């Protein structure tokens, strides 16, 4: 065990931290369920309607729900009992999946129902993900947070690797199977939320020092806009995540148009996720050795190479490997950025600042998903694929011209962030981290 210098207590290794293990398993079940649905829902729409545009419309509805609910979710996480919010988030997702399961079993699915279920799942997803950083600060000691954040990326990458092939195989066996499996996993997520022993907050003393209620929703955004580095990353994440959302749909459409079976499409997404798994395994070492600006530049050029390579006619697995190239450094970029946030953001604003960034990251997903689906219907999937590749190229060039470094201006130490009531943070800056 190590001594926690901040609290004067012995730190348990993460493997012996019961609450961390329970939280990690619950989050793994949640991630796996969500990634199962990213394959099962588009395949169900394509099988029943044959329209990439309708598949994009359903996926776009989920993206709009995630975008619209991110900021309210952050406010709720900073003000309301987080255990109840975890249960509510899982209940919404469970309701959505059960309704889809019923539609499959009854062989009676309307586009409006599919959109409604996608919206419900998106709302639950936003609420669940809004709790991640605040709970990590509660469960994991300060000295172990970089490692915990890296493991979080490994968990998500592993779910991306395993769930899509599983979803495709289950769908090939029975259209109802992936939805039944996801419902069981969401029940497990609810059990994990009940099993956590540590107080999840927020504390009454924390809420007492926040700004008036009418300004709660804007506090996180004002904090982000007051810092040059966070402003730049807000725009970068919005464009890159939006483009990735469209790219994920195009991966399914490309493979489907090239004659791949559902199981092969799932394997293609799994092959793509293997890149994220490999990146997650090395991201702790990469973020400790490579400064955030350089990491961002390298990652951006991999996005260009991977997206462009997907245009080459090839078997589904090879197309998935091209997708893997684009995904490889995204876990390291995410860990670097979250490590910066968790060390520089006041605890009373963690939920709102993190969800302000998530709101930005999801702000264009609906546009790219619906746009990619519509363009694929009208002109084939290569045109939207080349458009996304071109956007990645522009962003890669912009990083060499405009990208700022995170610095002391991003820290809150005995000062007042612009537009926010006086707060203090005792957490030190992390070297070479975003």
pLDDT, tens only, 323-359: 999 989 888 888 888 878 877 777 677 777 877 787 7
Quick check: is 5 in a domain? no
Quick check: is 434 in a domain? no
Residue 161 contacts residue 268 (beta carbons within 8 Å):
no
pLDDT at site 186: 93
Quick check: is 206 in a domain? no
Cis-peptide into 251, omega within 30 deg = no
Residue 428 contacts residue 325 (beta carbons within 8 Å):
no
pLDDT at site 203: 67
Percent of the chain with pLDDT strictly greater than 70: 87
Half-sphere CA count of 258, side-chain side, radius 13 A? 22
| One-letter-per-residue 3-state SS of 285-300 | HHHHHCCHHHHHHHHH
Quick check: is 73 in a domain? yes
Quick check: is 208 in a domain? no
Q: Phi and psi at residue 3, in whole multiples of 5°?
A: -85, 130
Domain boundaries, position 345: 13-198+217-410
CATH code of residue 231: 1.20.1250.20
pLDDT at site 407: 57
Quick check: is 57 in a domain? yes
Q: Which regions of the chain are under pLDDT 50?
A: 1-9, 208-210, 213-214, 408-434
Residue 246 contacts residue 374 (beta carbons within 8 Å):
no
Instruction: Confirm whether pTM is higher than 0.75.
Output: no
Quick check: is 428 in a domain? no
Quick check: is 382 in a domain? yes
Q: Phi and psi at residue 321, in whole multiples of 5°?
A: -65, -35
How far apart CA 116 and CA 101 sit, in angstroms, is 14
Collapse the DSSP code of 12 into the 3-class scheme (helix H, G, I; strand E, B; otherwise coil) and give the result.
coil
pLDDT at site 205: 55
How far apart CA 350 and CA 105 sit, in angstroms, is 42
- Provide the number of structural domains found in the chain: 1
Under the phi-then-psi rule, with left for phi > 0, alpha for psi from -120 to 50, and beta for the rest, what region is 259?
A: left
**Using N-to-C axis directions, what is the helix angle for 111-130 and 82-106, rounded to 10°?**
160
């Amino acid at each position: 065990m190590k001594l926690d210098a901040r609290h004067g207590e012995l730190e348990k290794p993460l493997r012996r931290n019961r609450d961390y293990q329970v939280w990690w398993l619950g989050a793994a079940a949640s991630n796996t369920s969500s990634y199962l649905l990213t394959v099962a829902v588009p395949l169900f729409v394509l099988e029943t309607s044959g329209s990439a545009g309708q598949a994009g419309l359903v996926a776009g509805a989920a993206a709009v729900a995630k975008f619209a609910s991110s900021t309210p979710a952050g406010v709720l996480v900073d003000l309301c009992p987080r255990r109840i919010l975890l249960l509510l988030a899982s209940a919404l997702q469970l309701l959505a999946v059960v309704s889809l399961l019923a539609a499959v079993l009854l062989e009676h699915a309307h586009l409006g129902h599919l959109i409604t279920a996608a919206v419900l799942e998106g709302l639950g997803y936003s609420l669940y993900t809004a709790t991640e950083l605040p709970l990590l600060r509660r469960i994991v000691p300060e000295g172990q947070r970089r490692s915990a954040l890296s493991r979080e990326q490994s968990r998500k990458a592993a779910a991306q690797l395993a769930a899509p092939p599983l979803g495709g195989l289950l769908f090939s066996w029975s259209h109802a199977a992936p939805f039944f499996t996801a419902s069981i996993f969401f029940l497990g997520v609810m059990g994990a939320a009940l099993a956590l022993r540590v107080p999840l907050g927020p504390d009454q003393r924390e809420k007492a020092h926040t700004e008036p209620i009418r300004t709660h929703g804007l506090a996180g955004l004002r904090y982000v806009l007051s810092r040059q580095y966070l402003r730049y990353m807000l725009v970068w994440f919005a464009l890159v995540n939006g483009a990735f959302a469209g790219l994920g749909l195009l991966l399914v459409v490309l493979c489907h148009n090239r004659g791949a079976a559902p199981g092969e499409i799932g394997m293609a997404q799994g092959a793509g996720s293997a890149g994220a798994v490999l990146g997650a395994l090395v991201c702790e070492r990469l973020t400790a050795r490579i400064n955030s600006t350089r990491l961002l530049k390298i990652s951006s050029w991999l996005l260009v190479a991977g997206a462009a390579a997907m245009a080459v006619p090839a078997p589904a697995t090879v197309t998935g490997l091209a997708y893997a190239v684009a995904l490889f450094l995204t876990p390291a970029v995410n860990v670097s950025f979250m490590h910066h946030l968790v060390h520089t953001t006041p605890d009373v604003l963690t939920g709102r600042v993190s969800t302000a960034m998530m709101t930005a990251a999801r702000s264009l997903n609906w546009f790219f998903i619906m746009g990619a689906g519509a363009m694929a219907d009208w002109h084939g999937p290569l045109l939207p694929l080349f458009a996304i590749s071109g956007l990645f190229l522009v962003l890669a060039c912009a990083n060499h011209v405009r990208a700022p470094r995170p610095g002391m201006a991003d820290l809150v130490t005995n000062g007042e962030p612009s537009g926010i009531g006086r707060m203090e943070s005792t957490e030190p800056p992390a070297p070479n981290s975003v």
